[in-house]
Each structure stands twice: as C-alpha cells, then as structure tokens.
Amino acid sequence: MSRLLYRNPLRSPADLADWIGEGPVAVAETPTGVELSSSGGDDDGHWTLWCPEEFGDGIQISWDFTPVAEPGLAMIFFGATTVDGASIFDADAAPRTGAYPEYHSGDLRALHVSYFRRRWPDERALHTCNLRKAPGFHLVAQGADPLPSVGDVAEPYRVEVHKDGSHVEFAVDGLTLFAATDPADTGHPVGGGRIGFRQMAPLTARYSNLEVRTL
C-alpha cells in the first residue's frame, strides 16, 4: 500500500520557508496556490527551488500546476545527489546559482523532466516534455505535452512522476506521456535523493498540493 512521505499544500510563502532557493525565485500567495516567478528582472533570471527532504527510491511525486504567464519553461528534478552520492548541499558540492549548465553538466547526478516548454520558438512550435539525465544532458525520453498555452488553461493540472529503480513514468491529469528506463550507458543509475522545481524566466506559474508517496 502506498505510504505518504511528504505533503505540502503550497498555499503561502510560509509553506516554502524551509525550501532552498538557487537563483532569483519570487514567491507570491494566491487563493489557489503559491505563484512562482523570477525576481531577476530579465529573461536570464532562472532559478531552482529544492525541497528540504531527501527521499529514497520507489516514489510517486505529484502536484497541481497552472501556467500563468508565458514564455518560459517548467521543470522538476528528482533523485538528485552529487556524482559521489553525497547530499547536493554537501560542503564539497560545486556552488549553484540557477544557471542551467550547473545542473545538467556539473557535479549533480539526477533525472529531470522539462514540461510546459515555451521558452524558445522551437519549443512553442512543437510542444514536448523531455526526460534528461545529469551529468551529461542525456536525453532519455520525449513525449507530447498536452498542456495548452496560457490563454486556454483549465486550472489546475495534476502532474505526476513515478520513479522506481531505473523505471520512470511522467503523466499529466492521468495521461501517461512517456515511460522510460534510465539507460545503463549514461553513467551510474539515479536512485533516491532530492526533488526540486525549476523555472526558466520569464515564466510565472502556480503550484499547490505537493505529495510524495511510496509506490
């Protein structure tokens, strides 16, 4: 039977008080969840926001997501450790400031799904969600992204990641967008570790009802 490991309503900035931000993340309260955006003042103000808990393998991560203002991109990291298997906040870990190469080609070992990819013209022309593995920026899987542009959203959308050993599934509102295997030829397999939300500026999006459960 599935067991609840972590729950966060994400209703106010206080719910994120113990999360660890890297880059210029801005948090605002709304009646239906926290609204996250960049406080950097330009299109390069990208950020990552880490949950304070660490999780083992064999988990389901789910949350409500509503895009509010485009362009931009939303992403989730999971199973994040250093390449040596230490905490990403270990004293010996390389510093991170929100710049994307620090996460996909630095000293982090993790998987991440980028979804609601509307940052660049080619992403807006053909909507996909991508599973990548770090370090190395390896594209593991790709699926169609069913989320509409902001003008047509029906809030919120329930987003889910299943991570069980080398198997990963990603779904939106119960629709599975891909099922993939962490490839053995891309380095040490990703296991348990940290989860974190990431946005590329200037996206504004709303989050609520985060849960992490065992599978």
Let me know if residue 186 belongs to a domain.
Answer: yes
129-143 pLDDT, tens digit each: 999 999 999 999 999
54-113 pLDDT, tens digit each: 999 999 999 999 999 999 999 999 999 999 999 999 999 999 999 999 999 999 999 999
Let me know if residue 113 belongs to a domain.
Answer: yes
152-202 pLDDT, tens digit each: 998 899 999 999 999 999 999 999 999 999 999 999 999 999 999 999 999
Angle at 105 between CA 50 and CA 22, to 5 degrees: 25
Let me know if residue 154 belongs to a domain.
Answer: no
For residue 213, the model assigns a pLDDT of 98
CATH number at residue 194: 2.60.120.200
- Residues 6 or more apart in contact with residue 74 via CB below 8 angstroms: 65, 67, 114, 115, 116, 197, 198, 199, 203, 205
Which secondary-structure segment (H or E) carries 105? Answer: none
Number of structural domains, the chain? 1
Let me know if residue 56 belongs to a domain.
Answer: yes
For residue 155, the model assigns a pLDDT of 83
Domain around 96: 4-147+159-214
